[in-house]
Structure formats: structure tokens, C-alpha cells
Amino acid sequence: MSAVFAPDPTIYSVNPNSVSVQRLLDENDHIIQLVAELSRKGNLEEAAQLQLVLQRNIVYLVSMVDQQKMERSHSMQSVGTRTN
């Protein structure tokens, strides 16, 4: 399982920095290469397990983006409220 992945993102504060995001993207790239290689060799069970890790990593990245969008939206709303 990914060392960067948080099993339940609602429990953890998601504060991504460019280093952790890049690490996760690099890990995903490596996982994709491994899945392709394992599939070619017929190791489908192992490839499927790695696909689950890849899926978790992607969900985690999406949750970070969603949280950032919500934070921006809330900060823009509070700025709009203060100026009115």
C-alpha cells in the first residue's frame, strides 16, 4: 500500500505540498509500469492488487483537490461577505 495514502481522508488533515504530491504521482507512474509488466507476464492477481493501490492513490489525490476547491470557495465567500 502507498506510504502516502491515508485510509480515511476525513480523519486526517489534508495539507498537500508539492513534494508529497510529486512523490505520489511518481509512485503511480511506477505502479502503472508494474501493472503492465505483471499483466504481460500473466500475473493477473498481483496486477489487480497493484491496481487497487493505484485506485486508492488517485482517490486520495482527488480528495486533496476537492478540499482545496472547498477551502478556496469558503475563503472567497468570506471575502465577499466582508466587502458587502
Whole-prediction pTM value? Answer: 0.67
Angle CA 44–49–52, to nearest 5: 125
Among the residues of the chain, which ranges form H helices? 18-40, 44-83
Q: What tens digit of pLDDT does each residue of 17-27 get?
A: 788 889 999 99
Condensed to tens digits (0 to 9), the pLDDT of residues 54-83 reads 999 999 999 988 888 888 888 887 766 665
Q: Cβ neighbours of residue 64 under 8 Å, at least 6 residues apart?
A: 14, 16, 21
